[in-house]
Amino acid sequence: MDPATILLFVAAAIASLFMAWVIGAGSSGATPFAPAVGANAISTMRAAFLVGILGFAGAITQGTSVSEAVGTGLVEGISLPIVGVIVVLLIGAGLMAIGIYTGYPIATAFTVTGSVIGVGFALGGDPAWGKYAEIGAVWVLTPFVGGGIAYGIASILPRPDVPEDLSVPILAGIVGIVVANLEFSFLSSIGGTLATTGTTLLPVGGAVPTVILTLSIGVIAGAVVRWDIRRDQAGGLRRFLLSLGALVAFSAGASQVGLAVGPLFPLLKDVPTVSPIVVLLGGGVGILVGSWTSAPRMIKSISQEYASLGPRRSISTLVPSFLIAQTAVLLGVPVSFNEIIVSAIVGSGLAVTGGDGVSPRKLGFTVAAWVGSLVLAFSLGYGSMLLLEL
């Protein structure tokens, strides 16, 4: 590799690191613990500290799926050059920085996806219609599925005929079953999940033992939460809420790191000394630093300005958020955590307060920012690359 190419790759890596920092400061760093902060279960600064560590862990263990989709799955027929990668990252990070400064959660997934497609089309790439259909389905269904699940949970938790030492443990059991089947890219050579066949962390073989192990983990999770709530209801709800926040923060790192480092993946074939795990580590560090230095502003914005959240409503928000986030990681779809969390907050709010605690004006500006950021990122990516080509 000639010196000029090396310098361009270093510039792209720096742009990727900046993008990771912006993600940590914004969507990945702010949204996972925002409901817990709104419920006064944890302070803003402590939430920012924990979400940074958990986001880093998610980035390096589950970050490959979305990274590969962003790097190679959005445009067919071409591979983005180094200059194109730099343009993509600068556009995405720039729009995210504007969102952080103004306090409105611009969706990182929209800005990066739009800019990658715009740059790719300007270079003569072909649309990846199958991937677009998959991404579009996740984006469109998220508000309805996430909001609907949150609405259902929030409607059940306060009912006197459904005691919380029964309903909450059931939720914990469902979450435990999902956790048992999480896929980890760094375990791909030894099975990939806790509950699949092959050589795994908990070795089992065959479909029946897998199902038994999965259900056992769910039952254990539910039993632990049930014991904790019966012993101390308020404390048990708080601890379950914080556990959900931790899982969402982990999932955020797994999903969002791909938006920062995914564009670098096609370049690695020209830099054999740099492995994907090194790139993921760099993205994880960027998310960590961003969460620790600048996430509190967005945490405050989401937790306090969208709605007044109690522990039960926050649980209703975080359960669907975790489920949708891990579905997106499994499918390799870039997804907006702002969209996931905000949709769940609105759904739980409609069940609890009839929508009185949700600001329609704030939500209207947020949706406009999401749609506008996608269109603007595509336009900037396409136009910028055309100018550079000229």
Task: Give 155-207 pLDDT, tens digit per residue.
Answer: 988 777 788 888 999 999 999 999 988 887 655 444 444 444 333 445 555 56
Phi, psi angles (nearest 5°) of residue 215 = -65, -35
**Separation CA 105–CA 26 (nearest Å):** 7
- DSSP 8-state secondary structure symbol assigned to residue 157: T
**Separation CA 219–CA 116 (nearest Å):** 43
Compute CA distances 171 → 84, 103, 132, 219, 224, whole Å: 44, 32, 32, 11, 12
Segments in the chain forming alpha helices (H): 3-25, 27-30, 34-38, 44-62, 64-72, 82-102, 108-122, 129-156, 164-180, 207-231, 233-261, 276-305, 311-331, 337-352, 360-389
**Separation CA 106–CA 348 (nearest Å):** 22
List, for the chain, all residue ranges whose pLDDT scores fall below the cut of 50. Answer: 188-201, 306-307
Tell me the pLDDT tens digit for each residue of 346-361. Answer: 888 888 766 665 667 7
Q: Would you state the pLDDT for residue 1?
A: 58
* Residue 33 contacts residue 273 (beta carbons within 8 Å): no
Record the pTM: 0.86
Q: Is the dihedral of CA 380, 19, 330, 9 positive or negative?
A: positive
Nearest alpha carbon to residue 148 among 367, 381, 347? 347
- Residue 76 is inside which H or E element, if any? strand 75-76
